[in-house]
Amino acid sequence: MSTIRTNDGTEIYYKDWGAGPVVTFSHGWPLNADAWDGQMQFLTQNGFRVVAHDRRGHGRSSQAGSGNDMDGYADDLAAVIEVLDLRDATLVGHSTGGGEVTRYIGRHGTGRVSRAVLISAVPPLLLKTDANPEGLPIEVFDGLRAALFQDRAQFYQDLALQFYGANRPGAKVSKGVLDQFWLWSMQAGLRNAYESIKAFSETDFTSDLENFDVPTLVMHGEDDQIVPVKDSARKSARLIKGAKEIYYPGAPHGLTATLQDQVNADLLAFLRG
């Protein structure tokens, strides 16, 4: 397998396809790089080089006992970018991956970055606090942790329905898409998936977003049951100077699958713009 080794000895798996301008992809929780195949294949067919890695503890990367936080995720992305010597890259992140991209820019800057894309992303802060009263209460995330620990296999089957909006009347989501979500999720280590909940829910990305100095596209489904659009994308877009926004009526969290063709077309237009 194609892997790199980070400073703490964690093996990070990556895939690297095509030739041309570079686009990196950071996946959502608790999936892996394969969740981006629909976008990666499309972009290689349109003249781009695409790189995606499995977050530590997910997919084919090693199940590290530490570093399961946004700083660790951002540093792993930086390691991939530096080992492969990627330059003028567009960083694309979905959900937790959007937090990873955001923290990367806040922590490592944009010296190797030309653009950023946040899709259904968790910034600026999901958790309800005194400074963020519109957020989700800690009990929501405690419930995720409890359900994950008690029966992660069933938890992931239930989560898939919300992730893709399959629980909505008239939804057209195949059993294959739901099964695929479960398969990817079960490849994540329990410790890693458990600790990642704190990372994506309690990390405040406000200062990171304010450091964005590259063209940025914010994309989000308006019926996202996982990361509510009003608490995330709309706030992030106000913090990023000159951000472009695209909102998809009725679309769920997993819109890269349910609206693959539309998302691909919008992503390509931004990359060529």
* Residue in this structure with the two tokens 């394969």, named with its chain if needed: 34
Euclidean distance between CA atoms 188 and 62, whole angstroms: 10
Spatial contact of 43 and 18, defined as CB atoms under 8 Å apart: yes
Look at phi and psi of residue 239 and say left if phi exceeds 0, alpha if psi is from -120 to 50, else beta. alpha
The 113-119 sheet, strands edge to edge: 3-5, 11-17, 49-53, 22-26, 89-94, 113-119, 216-221, 244-248
Per the annotation, the verdict on 62 as an active-site residue is: no
Spatial contact of 78 and 24, defined as CB atoms under 8 Å apart: no
Euclidean distance between CA atoms 141 and 245, whole angstroms: 28
Spatial contact of 148 and 165, defined as CB atoms under 8 Å apart: no
Per the annotation, the verdict on 253 as an active-site residue is: yes
Per the annotation, the verdict on 2 as an active-site residue is: no
Euclidean distance between CA atoms 186 and 180, whole angstroms: 10
Q: Which of 53, 58, 94, 253 is catalytic?
A: 253
**Element containing residue 40 per DSSP (H, E):** helix 37-44
Q: Which of 34, 224, 231, 266 is catalytic?
A: 224
Q: Which of 26, 95, 185, 201 is catalytic?
A: 95
Spatial contact of 231 and 135, defined as CB atoms under 8 Å apart: yes
Euclidean distance between CA atoms 23 and 50, whole angstroms: 5
Euclidean distance between CA atoms 106 and 29, whole angstroms: 21
Catalytic residues: 95, 224, 253
